[in-house]
């Protein structure tokens, strides 16, 4: 009898407060593919300064699961619920997760988060540099050209500076 191949989709899961790393560790130990976007920050205490890795998106973790693993993830002590719309977990496109990984891989690039309502900008693709291949929206934030990845299901955008000579306009896909 041949095993049934189930489709896997990325979903955002809402975690308990400050439990993102613990949930990530637990799910990895269960061989569940997950992604916790981390960013290094310089923290100052009264007696020392130290670089620490902090979650970019507080209280969120991304998991790539099939229907079979879907409930296994939510049964974790550190998981609260999936990010849902209309009672169903919202799938996140693979290319958004990959673009987020590329944003954070470039240690010289400052990545910011904003939950302000940004007007949809022109759809572009990066054609040169470390972000080559990423598609996003071009917009101006604080007077600088930025490329934005919009996570509508989370109500947030991730953005970073981009040079206009490294992008080209792409036509949106119509269904």
% residues pLDDT > 90 (the chain): 38
Tokens of residue 169, six digits: 């306009």
DSSP E strands in 79-155: the ranges are 79-82, 84-85, 88-89, 91-92, 111-114, 122-126, 135-141, 144-151
Question: Does residue 111 register a pLDDT over 60?
Answer: yes
pLDDT at 122 exceeding the cut of 80: no
The pLDDT score that the predictor gives to residue 1 is: 55
E strands along the chain, which residues? 9-15, 33-35, 38-44, 49-55, 60-65, 79-82, 84-85, 88-89, 91-92, 111-114, 122-126, 135-141, 144-151, 156-161, 167-169
Higher-scoring residue by pLDDT: 45, 23 = 23
Please report how many Cα atoms fall inside a 13 Å half-sphere around the Cα of residue 40, on the Cβ side.
10
The structural domains of the chain, with segments of one domain joined by +, span 1-92, 94-175
Q: Which residue has the tokens 């600088």?
A: 144
Residue 38 has pLDDT above 80, yes or no: yes
Q: Summarize pLDDT for 39-84 with one digit per residue, the tens.
A: 888 889 889 999 889 999 999 999 999 988 899 899 999 999 999 9
Higher pLDDT: 35 or 116? It is: 35
Topology given in CATH for the domain delimited by 94-175: SH3 type barrels. (2.30.30)
Separation in Å, CA 166 to CA 12, 33, 79, 136: 30, 32, 39, 13
CATH number for the segment(s) 1-92: 3.30.70.940
Are the beta carbons of 82 and 74 closer than 8 angstroms? yes
Mean pLDDT on 165-175: 74
Name which of 89, 99, 154, 142 is nearest 123 in CA terms: 99
Average pLDDT over residues 123-129: 84
pLDDT beyond 70 at 136: yes
Q: Give me 91's structure tokens.
A: 């799938």
- Does position 107 have pLDDT exceeding 80, yes or no? no
Euclidean distance between CA atoms 58 and 38, whole angstroms: 10
pTM equals: 0.78
For the cut 80, the answer to whether the pLDDT of residue 20 exceeds it is yes
């Amino acid at each position: 009898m041949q095993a049934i191949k189930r489709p896997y989709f990325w979903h955002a899961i809402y975690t308990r407060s400050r439990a993102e790393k613990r949930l990530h560790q637990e799910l990895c130990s269960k061989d569940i593919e997950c992604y916790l976007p981390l960013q290094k920050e310089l923290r100052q205490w009264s007696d020392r300064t130290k670089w620490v890795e902090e979650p970019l998106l507080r209280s969120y973790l991304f998991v790539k699961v099939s229907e079979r693993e879907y409930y296994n993830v939510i049964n974790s002590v550190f998981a609260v619920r999936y990010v849902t719309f209309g009672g169903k977990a919202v799938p996140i496109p693979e290319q958004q997760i990959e673009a987020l990984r590329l944003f954070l891989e470039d240690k010289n690039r400052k990545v910011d988060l904003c939950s302000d309502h940004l007007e949809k900008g022109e759809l572009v693709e990066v054609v040169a540099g470390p972000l080559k291949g990423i598609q996003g929206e071009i917009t101006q934030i604080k007077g600088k050209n930025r490329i934005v990845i919009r996570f509508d299901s989370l109500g947030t955008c991730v953005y970073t500076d981009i040079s206009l000579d490294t992008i080209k306009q792409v036509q949106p896909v119509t269904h």
